[in-house]
Structure 1
Amino acid sequence: MMWILLIICLWNFNIATCDSRFGSRNQYLCHCEDQCDQQGSCFGASNKCVNEWFGLGCQYQNLAFSFSPVINPNEAERLFKENDEYKCDILNAQTPISIQWNTSTPFTWMRIKVNNSTTLTTLSVTFIDEEMCSQVCVKQSIFQVNINVFDIACDVDFKMTTLQIHGDIVEHLCYVHINGGRNLALFQATSQSSTWGPLQLYGSNFAVDGLIKDRCNAGQCSHTLTDQGPQVWNITFDRSYEINKFVLFNRFDEYKDRLKGFFLQAFNSDSTTTFSYTNHPPTGQYIYTMVYFGKKPVNKVVIGLNNNFLAINEFQAYGDCLPGWWGLDCIQRCNSTCNDTCNTENGLCRVCIGAGDPPLCAKECPEGKYGLNCQWQCSVYCEKCSKVNGSCLLCPPGWVGLTCEKACSPDHYGQSCQNECSAHCDPPNTCNSVSGYCKCQPGWTNTTCNKECNDGWFGDYCLERCSIHCNSTCNKTDGACSCLPGYVGQKCSQECPQGKYGQNCSGICSQNCFNESKCDITNGDCESCKHGYKGDKCDKEKCPMHCLNESCDVYSGKCLSCKSGYGGDFCDTSSNIQDISVAVGVGVGLGAAVVLLIVCVVVVVYKRRARQRKQETGDGVDNVAKLQEEDHYDKVQDTNSLHDHYDSVPNKLHDKEKVNERHYEIQSSQQTYDQLSFDIDDTGQVHYEKVASPKQYENISRQKYENFSIDN
């Protein structure tokens, strides 16, 4: 028997060499880039699987290499077709990625590698069929292969043509391998209704040797006899498997039409039909793919043809262990705690997210723990986090992110960075990430600069008062305002210059104002008027002289009432002109009579005195001495009395005529007028003195009169 096996191994029919297989029965083909050991682990120059295969013993087909898929975006192709499980070339993009096939295919599970396992909780998978109906991954199970590699399984019975991956996890993906199952038909027990030629050349086993040949020559395919009626080919698996896809390879020559019209039936261990397919193409095909969406156990498959003979190049059956079993041979049972669900590669129970008791996942993670089987610690930035993804339920003010590890952006602050910095900060929209505090622009106040200055205040932090000369409230930024009459300047801090008044100092003071046209800066009223003018602005002439109390209408000048003896609007006519003329005539006549009388008296007195002096001339010195001894001033009033009499003389009253009148009155009232002299000092006071003789009095009086001047 050994020599027969050796001969088969050395046949030059593209049959795999003996060292390219492994397994308990050498039933698995090695898909390593270099070599594999008996467990299927790759070694040698490369430890990677060849393209299209991944997983345990490189036995799982990657659907990214089947059915000519279209991948979006284009740069995501490397994620789906990366065969280096130790490499991580992330896409660095948050956009959803998708892969689309040209035919329907079932989904069982996919394997992903991430550079940050905490993002696994953001994963979302969606399936789309030919009619664009969609379905999300339900009853999602996660199995951990190693620290950053996970298998994602979904309990779906869906004929997908497109698979989409969403979530923050996209930018952390190293690769995505979509499981198409492993070929469970390899080197299984086969049989056929007849064999054309020697058994070793066209036996039924050549249809499951793992080699796809270009023709159906000896040792390359199974072939039944001709002219024997309907023919069948059978495969019986060593145990039941969950199979979801059958692939039948026809001969690649001119006789491909010989296979058209075949049928395929699958049975479980009880010989119950679980799947049935009948081919009805117009012509033969090179490859037939039959997808089975039932997820029912398969133990046997029968292929038949109602023709003279049946030839099969290669038959493949893709699937995996039944639930509750794992390993390449599916002979190891899952742990009883896994509830008959475990990873088919390593037997681990499904991973719990947010719980620590797989596979039931009923026990919530304790405080401070989260994630897959509660194996991760919550961030030090939060005391309590989500049991599922570790995100802080409440970040401290100024922090945000899945674990509160990111400070707020410069324009946000507060709890979860949900508050925006004020546009009135200096610079705008920039503040303390915790409190929102910032330096305010002029016109704003409060710690977050969200309050405008109250009316009447302006500037930095509203510390400056608006000018009291503002017409209304001022600009809250710089204090500028419109001014009340009498003031100008940006802040109304300057009074109108002299000669100006009113709004914007546009008014000009009246030229009739006293003191160089100075007036009130607010309304233009003069402080006082020049001679001849009156009114608030000195724009009216004075009332006529005969108005009573100088009161008249400020607009027309008409007197309100007249002094006694006057009438008319302006009191400019006498009430009885004839009476006035008579009175004047009488007055003049009386005055003339008085003057004439005085002249006569003076002449008489003068003559008497002259006669008396002539008589007394002879008396000589004795008479003079006698005259001096006589008291000629006994009848003259005391000088103090005279002084009091003239106190009523106004200061600076220097009218010479009035002085003479006073002098005359004194002379008339005194008998010895020729012996009294007077003097008026600079203050207007009158002084008197006695003289020795009339002659002396005359000389002194004339001299003082001539020297007297009126001081204006």
Structure 2
Amino acid sequence: MPCVVLLCCCLFTVLHITSDVLAYENLALHQPAWQSSTAESYTADRAVDGLYTDLAWRGGQCAVSLEGQTAEWRVDLGAVKSIHHVLIQYVTGNTVWDENNVYTSLFLGFSVYISNTTNKEDGVMYFRDTNYTRATIPNPVNITCPYHGRYVIYYNNRTHPPYPEGYYGDARIRLCEVEVYGCPKLGFYGESCSIPCPQNCFCHITEGTCLGCLPGYRGLTCEEKCGDNTYGWRCQQTCGNCSNGERCHHVNGRCLSGCNAGAYGVTCKESCGNCSNGEPCNDTDGSCPSGCNAGAHGVKCKESCGNCSNDEPCNDVDGSCPSGCDAGAYGKKCDIDCRSGYYGPNCKYKCRNCRYKKCDGKTGKCHNGCRNGWRNTTCDEKCGDNTYGRRCQQTCGNCSNGEPCHHVNGICPSGCYAGAYGVKCKESCGNCSNGEPCNDVDGTCPHGCDAGVYGKKCDIECQMGLYGPNCQNNCSNNCAVSKQCDVITGECIGGCQAGWKGSTCDAECGDKTYGAECKEPCGNCKKMEPCHHVDGNCLSGCESGVYGMKCNQPCGNCSNGHLCNEVDGSCQFGCDAGVYGQICNIECPTGRYGRSCSKTCGDQCQGCNRFSGVCDLGCLPGWTGQRCDEPCTFGNNKFHQDVFLNNLL
């Protein structure tokens, strides 16, 4: 029934137990108990063991739960009993119980229920703390409220914050003892439980007033027996399948004339098993007089046969299989599934190479796939097709003579083909000297490295600036990009610096050349010596007629054919006629002539020769002579002669 709050009829006291209270029996002592969770080994039964001298929660005498939003504990009194009061001793930590004791905050807000089922909601809540504080809550507590029931339930919760001041944040059980006092048998009351209640009712435990009917009776005065095919407590239980439709006993439900076919037991509520040929079972003990139908066994033929071999029926008495078990089962009755790692008839085969050693008990199929190196549904086939490992998905290396690698770990049993090394022959050899194969175990090159690589395995490319076998050679300093060359040949990347030639830039320019790519021709060095290969300078000076560091500048017209200075081209004795300047290579300007252009042409000259001063372009009118320095007289001037001739004609 729904939970009913009966706080109005309860008396709450603290250790004020009168003489009549002391006469009642502790109905909870050593009875089965349960709690919603258990901390360590402090189980629910410790609260009904009669021990509570050590009130520390780890003292071994208290029931203790884990923390949570709710905490529930109950004791089963074994049957419906008439209850007078409940005494609860809570944990104290063996310290003074006052507002400073930490356990007061855990105790606050608790409730106590009485129910005829394990569900507190089916009973009544006859106490709930709503008023106490850490300073006022008593311990132990004695709650007096006459009622009847089978289960006494302690409950606390922290499900609807905010909580009153002093409440702990979660709910926990810390019960050192719960004592339930009352009469051990319904139908009696009084301080010694010796006074009979009114007929057919259970009564108030101290006053004797009727509170309800005993099992089998109903009505206001409890004088009416259960009817309508019912019996028991509040006539709420239904009679079984009694013979010929007779009513069962109103108190205990017993069928007085036995059961109808197909049922058995004192209340005829048990169904017969699978008796042979559909015969009815014995209505008292349910036994099948002629044995069982195929597929069942036991005295009552209620037990099913196991998985007997080839679906044979089991022995109908003990359930044994005469020819053993079918695949997937073992045991005398073939009713036990194969243990992990076994399969087949009578589970006699071991799972083969299954991952985690688990396979289907009937077929041996590996549920989680195969161990490394195996394949097939039953994992009984090694990896093939040059594969190995997990799901046979890895490819073997380059094993010697084309042999397959080990199906599990991929190791090559006879070593590696040339060009590979390692236990799996999956590593490629480096560039060993002269193309020799490397060691097939560690990959080392027995005679060093080929050009362009170095290292124990000849698998590291030369660092910048090095080349050749084992990278022992330095790139030429004459490379256009300093110390950068081909790691194999040493050929300079980007060509050579000025003055050098060859692929490795280790040869000076020759054939009277110098400079970038040796394309610049040398000058006219003295005694036909070669010029410097880088800058083209003539280290021993110049041949006659040229000057400069590179002897490629021609001398000017020095006076009387003297040689010019081979460094700066200057003429020590001046210039020859018709030229001037530091190196005597500039022609005389108009109006000048002679050595170093030191002489001036005549004023009457229309332009003189820069070497001789002769007026090559003639004289101004009125003048004559090679340099036009003679005045004209009639007849000695070409102009006058031309005029005279014209007049004659």
Q: TM-score, normalised by structure 2?
A: 0.27
- Structure number, greater radius of gyration: 1
